[in-house]
């Protein structure tokens, strides 16, 4: 370990598992959960390492405010759609992320949303709490069973693959689409490759695991929801930009979608009013990676990546 030198700025907060490592190597300042863009701009000049989370846009202007000594944007997340990669590359700044350590937690959350949305647990619990439950009713809250259902996985990467394994273990047939074909997963688990349109038509559950960013913005809109149809359940734990929230709310209201389970929203932490009042949806506040193991692993990896780059070593998980 080198002597403590240089300034690292954690845009919001880093958990102790990573913060303690970072503090052994740098002078560290943290913006706090409520940091504003203006406060961040005042904090970053002189930083050699910047550690943002997904709620902090990192653009050319912020990089320039950091100054020419900035070596690394060590993202405290696997998704990096909030980081302008081109602006980083143009300035010779390394960008890293935290893949793998949050795969299990996020796949489990997608499974939880699949089961809770598919079985209308949100509406059932709200009814019970508000005194609307009048007793066992054979025709009420009827939902989906995974055994024999077709589950469409959009993006068979780390999280999508783990989720697919989980639903497959519960007896679902898995279809998938991704940028490239996954022949190993097809052979090992019997997953079926198809294009997005066919997947939407054939699946009772559609779970989104592709990355955010301009390339996937609006992937699931009105037309795609029509293809999923009134028996279908939509799950999104990737990024809110992939799904048109108003279109989902409308489809739920009008009975054109059976249920939805969402963890992420375009423009979060704002959640569209239409979704908040829509029936048959389970809405979570972006907690996909929120297990003790995952969040500690992310914090540690973000710190290790920042330290590696500044020490002239190859970081464990470089994006650019």
Q: Active-site residues: which are they?
A: 239, 268, 286
- The site for ligand NAP, by CB under 6 A, has a size of 30
Name residues contacting ligand NAP, limited to 193-212 (CB under 6 A): 209-212
Q: Is residue 158 at the binding interface for ligand NAP, with CB under 6 A as the rule?
A: yes
**Of 15-23, 152-160, 268-276, 303-311, which part binds ligand NAP (CB under 6 A)?**
152-160
Q: Is residue 52 at the binding interface for ligand NAP, with CB under 6 A as the rule?
A: no
* Shortest distance, position 137 Cβ to ligand NAP, whole Å: 34
Name which of 1 and 270 has its Cβ closer to ligand NAP: 270
* Shortest distance, position 140 Cβ to ligand NAP, whole Å: 30
Q: What DSSP string runs through the chain?
A: -PPP-SEEEESS---HHHHHHHHHHSEEEE--TT--HHHHHHH-TTEEEEE--TTS-B-HHHHHHH-TT--EEE-SSS--TTB-HHHHHHTT-EEE---STTHHHHHHHHHHHHHHHHTTHHHHHHHHHTT---S--TTSS----STT-EEEEE--SHHHHHHHHHHHHTT-EEEEE-SS--HHHHHHH--EE--HHHHHHH-SEEEE-S--SGGGTTSB-HHHHHHH-TT-EEEE-S-GGGB-HHHHHHHHHTTSSSEEEES--TTTT---HHHHT-SSEEE--S-TT-SHHHHHHHHHHHHHHHHHHHTT---SSB--
* Shortest distance, position 136 Cβ to ligand NAP, whole Å: 35
* Shortest distance, position 253 Cβ to ligand NAP, whole Å: 25
Name which of 118 and 157 has its Cβ closer to ligand NAP: 157
Name which of 232 and 297 has its Cβ closer to ligand NAP: 297
């Amino acid at each position: 370990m080198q002597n403590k030198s240089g300034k690292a700025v954690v845009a919001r907060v880093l958990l102790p598992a990573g913060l303690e490592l970072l503090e052994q190597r740098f002078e560290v300042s943290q913006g706090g959960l409520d940091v504003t863009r203006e406060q961040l701009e005042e904090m970053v000049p002189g930083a050699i390492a910047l550690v943002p989370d997904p709620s902090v846009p990192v653009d050319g202007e912020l990089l320039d405010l950091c100054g020419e000594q900035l070596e690394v944007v060590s993202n405290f997340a696997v998704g990096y759609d909030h980081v302008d990669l081109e602006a980083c590359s143009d300035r010779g700044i390394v960008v890293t992320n935290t893949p793998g350590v949050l795969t299990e937690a996020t796949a489990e959350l997608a499974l939880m949303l699949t089961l809770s949305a598919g079985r209308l647990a949100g509406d059932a619990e709200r009814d019970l709490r508000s005194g609307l439950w009048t007793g066992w009713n054979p025709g009420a809250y009827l939902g989906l069973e995974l055994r024999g259902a077709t589950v469409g996985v959009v993006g068979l990467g780390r999280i999508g693959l783990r989720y697919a394994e989980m639903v497959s273990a519960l007896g679902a047939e898995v279809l998938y689409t991704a940028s490239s074909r996954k022949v190993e997963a097809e052979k090992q688990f019997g997953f079926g490759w198809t294009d997005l349109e066919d997947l939407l038509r054939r699946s009772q559950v559609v779970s989104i695991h592709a990355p955010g960013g301009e390339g996937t913005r609006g992937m699931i809109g009105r037309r795609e929801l029509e293809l999923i149809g009134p028996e279908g359940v939509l799950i999104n734990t990737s990024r809110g930009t992939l799904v048109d929230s108003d279109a989902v709310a409308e489809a739920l209201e009008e009975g054109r979608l059976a249920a939805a389970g969402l963890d992420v929203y375009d423009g979060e932490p704002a959640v569209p009013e239409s979704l908040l009042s829509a029936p048959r949806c389970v809405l979570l506040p972006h907690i996909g990676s929120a297990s003790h193991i995952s969040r500690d692993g992310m914090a540690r990896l973000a710190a290790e990546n920042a330290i590696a780059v500044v020490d002239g070593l190859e970081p464990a998980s470089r994006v650019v």
